[in-house]
Structure 1
Amino acid sequence: MELLSNADIKKVLLNILIDLQEACKKNNIRFYLVGGSLLGAIRHQGFIPWDDDVDIGLKRPDYDRLQELSKKDDFLPPYLKLISHEKGNSQYPFMKIIDTRYSMEQGYIKEGDVTSIWIDILPTDGLPNDDRKIKTIYKKAALYREILMLNFAKAGEGRSKLKALLKPLIIPFAKMIGVNRANKLLDNLSRSTPYEKADKVGCIMWGLYGSRECMNRLEFEKPVEVKFEGHVFNAPSCWDSYLSNLYGDYMKMPPKEKQVTHELKVWKNL
């Protein structure tokens, strides 16, 4: 198999994104660049130089529609596959789209069925108006995510020596709860406030920035076009306040020690 360079990995990710956008447009589904991908679009007009992933967000009703449409054989090109916990072929609570022409290995965790290069597809869910309730929801989500990730962590490995030492001690407790239950807890929590009735929305199940993920629903839904690697994609109209909440002075480059990748190894299947 042929090992891909970081530049090659980005080309594959971009092509997945373009193919998915074409399929979604045909079915009147809109997705938005979010997280680091949106930051890259605004600050670099493409990938963050040291980044090696793509994140997109959909409002919950469109997310569920995409899940159903992915069951059709002609929805995506044959080399692309949409995987999810609901389908039984992913360990994560959200969808991923993978390119099956490639194989992948990632440091620190055992990916299970996620053995190909991917794009994360994240639902944006309704949030209550009460700020205290929002913080409680995100605290619960963080706990459930930690339990989930420990279920397929590699014992003895981690981003720090302390984490590597602690993992063998706490992994057994996480496994008592298990992947299925952790994912169900995350999904139920994310759906606890109906999207269409909410004034505020945010990514809950994978909202790593907690209550800072919160946006006005109408501002999130209104699309604006941004350039990403020479192509045009949608972003939420509130992209400036969203990025400021997540990253602070987002146009300022972070220090070298924070410029980290997912440590992917990707091969093209020959």
Structure 2
Amino acid sequence: MQEDFSIYNGEGTILRRAQMRMLDILSEVDKICRKHNITYWLDGGTCLGAVRHKGFIPWDDDIDIAVMRNDYKRLRKILKKELPENMVFQDETTERLYPAKMAKVRDKNSYFEETEMKTALKEQGIFIDIFPVEKGYVKVKTFIDFFYGRAFRRLRHHNGNRKEYVIALLMWPFACTMVGIARFFNFLITSDDLIYSYGIPTLNKYQLHARDFVPTKPIVFENKEFMAPANADAYLRRLYGDYMQIPPKEKRRIHASVIRFFD
């Protein structure tokens, strides 16, 4: 008998309301990307949900998309200007304590407290994540991020004490130099190997390949059409193995500890 997933996100539940708010944000970002010819794709668990469930993984409480780093820098400028009044772009350039090298677009009329990342950020509404992707090799990234990612997070006061903060200050110029050198050599080398940008710990043990992502193709997600990786099957198998297999209940991860709505 097929499992009843409505216990997670049945109509009227807080999670389902949050998912619909995230869908509104995604729809707005999709519209802006299409307007400015910016290529993006549904990423991680959002891509998995689209393929396996035609929408959200029932217990999932976030949306992930990815863009190439050059497009990411352009998209950042555009989103700051063109998002509607009820949404806001957030990253390291907008908040001093923001502890990540990727961005969020947040809803202004809600509150979302992440179990694993409690910070004193100004904007804390329901969100979608935007991950920059660039040319690179995962083994090199893993080595560099031991210094770069650690230093960045501690400089942003994330999971660090005063001693670690001072060490991060000393480490930061060296770490930035390593990233610059790596990007220079990756620019010279012809390869379709990709990584999530330096400083992003998510999924960094997996080597990505451009051929699996571009050109993107349409996919249905919650009865709407968004863009997905060119070879979603290869990508998801590399990420999750037998991704069509529903995980046991104890492995169904929820990020939020508190979700509130103000409208």
What is the correspondence of 1:109-128 to structure 2 with a 5 Å cutoff? 109-113=117-121, 114-128=123-137
The one-letter code sitting in structure 2 at the alignment partner of 1:176 is: V
Q: Which of 249-258 and 37-46 deviates more?
A: 249-258
Residue among 212, 218, 231 paired with 1:225:
218
Is 1:52 the counterpart of 2:56? The answer is no
Give aligned pairs, total.
Answer: 242
Could you tell me the percent identity over the aligned residues? 28
Q: Which of 185-194 and 32-41 deviates more?
A: 185-194
Post-superposition shift, 1:247? Answer: 0.6
Tell me, yes or no, if the aligned pair for 1:93 and 1:186 is still in contact at 8 Å. no
Output one character per residue of 1:112-152: Cα deviation in whole Å (capped at 9) or x when no partner.
22411111100011115xxxxx3131243266445655633
Tell me, yes or no, if the aligned pair for 1:139 and 1:210 is still in contact at 8 Å. no
Q: Which of 115-124 and 170-179 deviates more?
A: 170-179
Output one character per residue of 1:15-53: Cα deviation in whole Å (capped at 9) or x when no partner.
110111112211111210011100111111111111100
Question: Unaligned 5+ residue runs, structure 2?
Answer: 1-12
Provide the rounded CA distance (Å) in 1 between the counterparts of 2:20 and 2:128.
12
Q: Which of 86-95 and 10-19 deviates more?
A: 86-95
How much is the aligned-residue C-alpha RMSD, in angstroms? 3.0
- TM-score normalised by the chain length of structure 1: 0.78
Greater relative CO, 1 or 2 (CA 8 Å, sep 6+): 1
Tell me, yes or no, if the aligned pair for 2:105 and 2:127 is still in contact at 8 Å. yes
Aligned CA distance change for structure 1 residues 241 and 219 (closer, same or farther; 3 Å): closer
Output one character per residue of 1:184-230: Cα deviation in whole Å (capped at 9) or x when no partner.
95897397233995422121343533342411x24422111111111
Residue among 81, 92, 116 paired with 2:100:
92
Is 1:31 the counterpart of 2:31? The answer is no
Tell me, yes or no, if the aligned pair for 2:42 and 2:227 is still in contact at 8 Å. yes
Provide the rounded CA distance (Å) in 2 between the counterparts of 1:52 and 1:108.
13
- TM-score normalised by the chain length of structure 2: 0.80
Q: Which of 246-255 and 134-143 deviates more?
A: 134-143
Question: Unaligned 5+ residue runs, structure 1?
Answer: 129-133, 154-169
Q: Secondary structure at the match of 2:133?
A: strand
Tell me, yes or no, if the aligned pair for 1:203 and 1:213 is still in contact at 8 Å. no
Tell me, yes or no, if the aligned pair for 2:212 and 2:234 is still in contact at 8 Å. no
Aligned CA distance change for structure 1 residues 211 and 195 (closer, same or farther; 3 Å): farther
The one-letter code sitting in structure 2 at the alignment partner of 1:102 is: S
Q: Secondary structure at the match of 2:206?
A: helix
What is the correspondence of 1:60-79 to structure 2 with a 5 Å cutoff? 60-72=69-81, 75-79=82-86
Is 1:253 the counterpart of 2:261? The answer is no
Tell me, yes or no, if the aligned pair for 1:60 and 1:195 is still in contact at 8 Å. no
- Point out 4+ residue stretches in structure 1 off by more than 6 angstroms: none
Q: What's the counterpart of residue 152 of structure 1?
A: 158
Is 1:194 the counterpart of 2:187? The answer is yes
Tell me, yes or no, if the aligned pair for 1:51 and 1:261 is still in contact at 8 Å. yes
Post-superposition shift, 1:70? Answer: 2.6
Aligned CA distance change for structure 1 residues 48 and 254 (closer, same or farther; 3 Å): same
